[in-house]
Amino acid sequence: MELSEKLAILADAAKYDASCASSGTESRQALTDKSLGSTGGMGICHSYTPDGRCISLLKLLLTNFCLYECSYCVNRASSQVPRAAFSVDEVVNLTLDFYKRNYIEGLFLSSGIIQSADYTMDKVMQVAKKLRLEHGFKGYIHLKTIPEASPELLAEAGLYADRLSINIELPSDTSLKQLAPEKSVLRIEGAMSHLKDTIDGHKLERKTEKKRYGRVKTPLFSPAGQSTQMIIGADTSNDHLILQKADQLYRQYRMRRVYYSAFSPIPDASAALPPTAPPLLREHRLYQADWLLRFYSFSIDEVTSNRANGMLDLSVDPKLAWALSHREHFPVDLNRADYEHILRVPGIGVATAKRLIRMRRQQRLRWQDLCRLRIDRKKVQQFVCVADHSPLSLGESSEQLKQRFLKPAEQQMALF
């Protein structure tokens, strides 16, 4: 099979992995040994596809042959999609050729399971090893790890990769058993725990060495940490359950990111899981809720409170939904309230809240200052108090207030 045909098949098979970050790792560059590659700072998106997603890393499957039968996956054993397999050298050369032309920041490599978990993991690790040791590649490498593989292989993979990830796929154990019979939640979370321990162990070693000897001998292990992905809409789990799972993963395994991937129609779907239009708006709300949990000190109950079926409101963002159902906390006096309360105001984000705190040290905040900071006036006016502005009428019911935030088409829908 021609290289371009393989590339078409194996890029097509890799598109359902949402992760594309190329940031969060150590700063390094190739000048010291005249090799290739640099990382550090913000990631760079070298291109954008018409789905609005950025192309930062070369996202490939080593092969899309697979022994497993996961109902949601385009590469499952019973699927009739065309199959292909790269050799280790082909992936290495493709990565280097694309990198030299500044198309990519690095490589994101996954694989279907062939022969055995160990065999596949070893092949995936060989690619990263060759790039790092033979070619001195200093760009970004993200490896998908197979939880069933032996710990020694995982231990070596982390020495070459900037980030390792294992997909949790589904938020509940029962749905995973039903839709992915070869996978086990115990093994997946066990591997995540093991990764966390290894990452922490290396960090601690390096810290103590630096302190004691001034130089560091222990190598870095997956400096950008680990991440994971959940499929939304493939099972009956509600948003509350999904967010609970994400929260547990963040706390217990120190995940850097949990990605939510709307269950998308695939070229050859299984009868066990018929395709539907991807729930993109639901995915969007979940990301917004995820941000609230991580950066706005919301608790899960607050985010999904007042929702009878545990599903987020699709018509407004979760922060506004919370504000509308907790009017007793508003209006917030921006000149007096503390940081956490200011963060709760719809229309004020982390950066703006910090700026407001800095500004009010020198002057009393007025309505003009909010406009200058480019805060959405329409959103904020009913929820804040400043020196020369108070909400117009506190008597307005939450339903009426909500109407004002909906777009005209949604307002029509809400009436019926």
Q: Kindly identify the residues of this chain, within the stretch 358-397, that bind other proteins according to CB under 8 A.
A: 358-359, 362, 369, 372-373
Among the listed residues 1, 11, 186, 314, the single contact to other proteins using CB under 8 A: 11
Among the listed residues 204, 280, 314, 350, the single contact to other proteins using CB under 8 A: 280
Contact status: 44 vs other proteins (CB under 8 A): yes
Neighbours of 376 (CB within 10 A): 11
Among the listed residues 117, 188, 199, 266, the single contact to other proteins using CB under 8 A: 266
Stretch that binds other proteins, among 44-52, 140-148, 164-172, 340-348 (CB under 8 A): 44-52
In terms of CB distance, is 50 or 408 closer to other proteins? 50
> What is the longest distance spanned by two Cα atoms in the chain?
71
- The rounded distance, in Å, linking the Cα atoms of 145 and 13 is 17
Stretch that binds other proteins, among 23-31, 118-126, 157-165, 209-217 (CB under 8 A): 23-31
Cα→Cα distances 121→74, 167, 216, Å: 20, 15, 29
CB of 37 to other proteins, least distance (A): 6
Q: How far apart are the first and last CA of the chain?
A: 56
In terms of CB distance, is 16 or 322 closer to other proteins? 16
In terms of CB distance, is 12 or 396 closer to other proteins? 12
In terms of CB distance, is 329 or 372 closer to other proteins? 372
Contact status: 336 vs other proteins (CB under 8 A): no
Stretch that binds other proteins, among 109-117, 216-224, 272-280, 305-313 (CB under 8 A): 272-280
Q: Which residues of 221-250 are buried (b: 16+ CB within 10 A; e: fewer)?
A: bbbbbbbbbbbbbbbebebbbbbbbbbebb
Stretch that binds other proteins, among 74-82, 169-177, 219-227, 408-416 (CB under 8 A): 74-82
Task: Let me know the angle formed at the C-alpha of 260 by 262 and 409, rounded to the nearest 5 degrees.
Answer: 55
| CA nearest to 86, candidates 56, 55, 118, 120 | 120
| CA nearest to 38, candidates 26, 47, 48, 46 | 26
Residue 237, C-beta contacts closer than 8 angstroms, at least 6 positions apart: 170, 171, 172, 175
CB of 227 to other proteins, least distance (A): 19
Contact status: 151 vs other proteins (CB under 8 A): no
In terms of CB distance, is 13 or 125 closer to other proteins? 13
**Edge-to-edge strands, sheet with 226-232:** 57-61, 106-110, 140-144, 163-165, 226-232, 257-262
CB of 138 to other proteins, least distance (A): 8
Place of tokens 């309230």: 337
Contact status: 269 vs other proteins (CB under 8 A): yes
Contact status: 65 vs other proteins (CB under 8 A): no
Among the listed residues 65, 68, 77, 172, the single contact to other proteins using CB under 8 A: 77
Neighbours of 80 (CB within 10 A): 7
Cα→Cα distances 23→12, 96, 141, Å: 24, 19, 11
In terms of CB distance, is 157 or 180 closer to other proteins? 180
**How many residues interact with other proteins (rule CB under 8 A)?**
71
